[in-house]
Each structure stands twice: as structure tokens, then as C-alpha cells.
């Protein structure tokens, strides 16, 4: 089975906690604070690898989490940062945020990578909080949680030429004739259930990659048949070879059906250059219909080819025409545009009230609450000062908060009062 879609969960490493410690050395009666900072959590990267060709590995493992940062220690020892985790995917993989649909990356080159999860920053130890007026602080920060998200991976195979056409048009037979690929071939529709790739070598200098895609039917762009599952793979190709079945009742009707489906799926796909080919010329019925097909297509400005994929008749001429057309088409691979995250004011916040209490939401204030060590009185007092400095305290009072109300800052639950913190 060809796995070209997967959904994975990444959870970047949490930062290490800062440390509260003081120097104890001979001859240094007032050594001062010596608590080190925690290490940064490991990042998560997705990297393209030419050694892979499907996403089957993610059917068995879909959760990825790198190591967290180590905690800080005394004697100003900083915790070690967590090692980053690299997830290998095939070339042509598009990465999206499953919740927002944001495109995070489109990896088309071997070794290309994108960061999909930032590790949390390490908490500061009490050394970082020492001031001339507070020379022995007993305060530290907890490590920040790493970025956590669900990702959707979508593989779009990279090939120079894509074979499209109705089921049983002879696409797999043609691929087997011109390359070393051995797709399944049988005289019934939908024999091909997954894309197949083959390398066509005409001489030492001329070669290209040919992709045989499952047959399309009318309504494929809306989900009918099997071909709709693989239409996105055609977008990576530079040239389409549109194969017509010479034994079909109306090859020209099929020609129109396939082109309409390509247009319905993507205008970019429909605009790709095509070479139209009538197959099965080894059968008398196909030879009889060829003059009419050629004439009708010529009226539309199309110069078709005729071949027999089974016997090889006309195949070499077709391959050289493909090579010629490819030489005229830029080798650039269509890449999904990566969404740039808009700049966000981290200090901005919002306040909402529901049946449970007041909810304060904002990047900076939620981070401060998460990294506050609530077991330390000085840390609680510091968070109170942060609320006042950012204007959260005043905003809550203006919104109508009263004594005893519950206030949620992110996932942190607090109680409003004179000594709420």
C-alpha cells in the first residue's frame, strides 16, 4: 500500500528549571547566589531524505518528543540543552499545522529541513535575579514548555513526466516497456492502486523520471474512483503524457473528461503541457479509429502520437519527443508557498469571563505564569509585579473582578484577593 499522508504529534522539549543555591567556600563568608540556569529544551525538525519514498513509517509511530533541558545546579552550573530531534521524510513532503492549516514547509531537496517545534527556554537561577538591593534572592524560574502541535504530512512524488488517462488505457504497460519498473498489469480497471515511478534512459546524457498514476474517471476531482487520491502528485511533474485507450468506445470523450477533471482539481494542473497519445495500435480496431482521432485533435490544435505499448511500436519516437519537450520546460519544481507567521505583540493580552471565572490570555503573561515557581514566595511576589507592570491588574479591576473570583492565566488557576498571589 502506498502511504502518502500521515498525521503526527510533536512535543518539543521543556526547558530545565533554574536553581536556587548559594556559595559555600572557605574564606568567602558571604558567597552570594550561585544557582545556574536551566538548559533549553530540544527542538523538533522535519528533514527530507532521498532514501525514503513513502510515509509508511508514521503508521506505526506518530508521537515525537526530544529530550528536555537539564535543570540548573549550584556553583553557577547551567543545565545542558536537550538534543534536537530530526524526523526524516521523503522528498516532496508538504508539512501543515493540523489545527490552522498553515503550511510550515515544502521539502523538495535532500537534506532540506524545517523547524516544526521550538524547545522551551530554560528557567533562570537565582544568580540572574541578584541586584544591589537584593543580594541574596531566593527565587528561580521553571522551564518553559516546548511547542506542541499536530502536523499533517502530505507526500507529492517528484517526477518529470506524469502518465494520466482512464483506467486500462495502458499506462502501466507503457511504464514497464520503457523502464525497469514492474507495475502490476491486468485486463481490468483500477489495476494500478498506487503511483509507480520508473527511470527512462535514452542515452548516456538523456533520461527522465516517469510516473504512472492510477486511472482517473469522471468525477475524480470530487472524490470518485481512485485517481482523485493521487491528483496532487501530478502537480510536481513538468509534462503530462495523456494516454488514450484506442479500444474505448469514444477516445475523444475520454480525452475531454480527463482534462475537465484536471482543471477542476487545479488550474495550475490543467495548464501543464501535454502530449496526447493513442495507445493499443497493435489492435485493428484502434488503427481504424486513429485517423478520426488524429483529425479531431488536430482541429483543437493538438498533434497526437500513436503507439502500441505492448509491442513497442512508436514508443521510441514518443520518448524522444518527451525528452525534447522537457528540454524546453524549466526544471523548477512547483513548491507549496510557505505561510509566514504574522508578527504578534507578545505583551498584548485579552480578558474574558465565563461561568468558571476570568480568563487572561496573552503570550507573555501566560509564559510568565507557566515559568513562575509557585512554591517560592518571592516568585509569587514577582508575578504580582509582572501583572501590575503589564496592566493586567488594572484591566481586571476595570472589568469587574471581585474578591474571591477565580482568575485563569493560561492553565494557571489563581484566586483574586489581597493576598491572591
196 contacts 183 by C-beta, under 8 angstroms: yes
Q: Check pLDDT > 50 for residue 191.
A: no
Q: CATH class for domain 350-415?
A: alpha beta
Cα dihedral 174, 179, 182, 185, rounded to 10, equals 10
Give the confidence band of 81 by pLDDT, cuts at 50, 70, 90: very high
d(CA 272, CA 52): 27
Residue 228 CA to residue 250 CA, distance in Å, equals 22
For domain 1-156, give the CATH superfamily. GTP1/OBG domain (2.70.210.12)
Q: For residues 76-85, give the mean pLDDT.
A: 95
Contact call for residues 91 and 158 (beta carbons, < 8 A): yes
Q: Which fold has domain 161-328?
A: Rossmann fold (3.40.50)
Domain boundaries, the chain: 1-156, 161-328, 350-415
Q: In angstroms, rounded to a whole number, what is the distance separating the alpha carbons of residues 412 and 421?
A: 12
Looking at residue 349, its pLDDT comes to 93
**Chain centroid to CA 367: how far?**
26
The pLDDT of residue 83: 96
The mean pLDDT of 198-211, rounded to a whole number, is 83
Query: Helical H runs in 188-314?
Result: 231-234, 251-265, 267-270, 284-299
The whole-model pTM stands at: 0.76
Residue 241's H or E segment, with its range, is strand 239-245
Q: pLDDT tens-digit profile of 357-397?
A: 999 999 999 999 999 999 999 999 999 999 999 999 999 99
Check for a shared fold between 1-156 and 350-415.
no
Nearest to 148 by CA among 41, 55, 53: 41
Q: Which helix (H) or strand (E) holds 369?
A: helix 363-371
pLDDT at 202: 86
pLDDT tens by residue, 115-165: 999 999 999 999 999 999 888 899 999 999 999 999 999 888 777 888 888
C-alpha distances out from residue 244 to 175, 216, 304, 404, Å? 15, 12, 10, 76
Q: Which residues contact 17 (CB under 8 A, 6 or more apart)?
A: 38, 71, 72, 122, 123, 140, 141, 142, 143, 373
Q: Answer yes or no: is pLDDT of 109 > 80.
A: yes
What nine digits make up the cell of 239?
A: 509534462
Confidence band of 281 (pLDDT split at 50, 70, 90): very high
Overall average pLDDT of the 29-42 stretch: 90
Higher pLDDT, 220 or 122: 122
Amino acid at each position: 500500500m502506498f502511504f502518502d499522508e500521515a498525521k503526527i504529534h510533536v512535543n518539543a522539549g521543556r526547558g530545565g528549571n533554574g536553581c536556587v543555591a548559594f556559595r559555600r567556600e572557605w574564606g568567602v563568608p558571604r558567597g552570594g547566589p550561585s544557582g545556574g540556569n536551566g538548559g533549553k529544551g530540544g527542538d523538533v525538525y522535519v528533514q527530507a531524505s532521498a532514501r525514503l519514498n513513502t510515509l509508511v513509517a508514521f503508521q506505526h509511530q506518530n508521537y515525537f518528543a526530544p529530550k528536555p533541558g537539564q535543570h540548573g545546579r549550584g556553583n553557577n552550573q547551567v543545565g545542558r540543552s536537550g538534543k534536537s530531534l530530526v524526523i526524516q521524510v521523503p522528498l516532496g513532503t508538504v508539512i501543515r499545522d493540523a489545527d490552522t492549516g498553515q503550511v510550515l514547509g515544502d521539502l523538495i531537496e535532500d537534506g532540506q529541513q524545517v523547524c516544526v517545534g521550538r524547545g522551551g527556554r530554560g528557567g533562570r537561577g537565582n544568580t540572574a535575579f541578584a541586584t544591589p538591593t537584593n543580594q541574596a534572592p531566593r527565587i528561580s524560574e521553571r522551564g518553559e514548555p516546548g511547542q506542541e502541535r499536530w502536523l499533517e504530512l502530505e507526500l507529492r512524488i517528484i517526477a518529470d513526466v506524469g502518465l494520466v488517462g482512464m483506467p486500462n488505457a495502458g499506462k502501466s504497460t507503457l511504464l514497464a516497456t520503457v523502464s525497469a519498473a514492474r507495475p502490476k498489469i491486468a485486463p481490468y480497471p483500477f489495476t494500478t492502486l498506487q503511483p509507480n515511478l520508473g527511470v527512462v534512459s535514452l542515452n548516456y546524457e538523456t533520461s527522465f523520471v516517469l510516473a504512472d498514476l492510477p486511472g482517473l474517471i469522471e468525477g475524480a476531482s470530487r472524490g470518485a474512483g481512485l485517481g482523485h487520491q493521487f491528483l496532487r502528485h501530478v502537480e510536481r511533474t513538468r509534462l503530462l503524457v495523456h494516454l488514450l485507450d484506442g479500444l474505448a468506445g469514444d477516445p475523444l470523450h475520454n480525452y475531454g473528461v480527463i482534462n475537465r477533471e484536471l482543471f477542476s482539481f487545479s488550474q495550475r494542473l490543467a495548464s501543464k503541457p501535454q502530449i496526447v497519445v493513442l495507445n493499443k495500435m497493435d489492435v485493428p480496431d484502434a488503427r481504424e479509429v486513429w485517423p478520426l482521432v488524429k483529425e479531431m485533435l488536430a482541429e483543437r490544435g493538438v498533434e497526437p502520437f500513436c503507439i502500441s505499448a505492448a509491442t513497442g511500436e512508436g514508443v521510441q519516437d514518443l520518448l524522444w519527443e518527451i525528452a525534447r519537450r522537457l528540454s524546453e520546460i524549466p526544471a523548477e519544481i512547483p513548491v507549496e508557498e510557505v505561510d509566514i507567521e504574522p508578527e504578534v505583540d507578545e505583551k498584548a493580552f485579552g480578558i474574558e469571563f465565563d461561568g468558571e471565572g476570568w480568563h487572561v490570555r496573552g503570550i507573555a503573561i501566560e509564559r510568565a505564569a507557566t515559568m513562575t515557581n509557585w512554591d517560592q514566595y518571592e516568585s509569587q511576589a514577582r508575578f504580582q509585579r509582572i501583572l501590575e507592570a503589564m496592566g493586567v491588574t488594572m484591566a481586571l479591576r476595570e472589568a469587574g473582578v471581585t474578591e474571591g473570583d477565580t482568575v485563569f492565566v493560561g492553565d494557571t488557576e489563581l484566586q483574586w484577593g489581597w493576598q491572591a498571589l
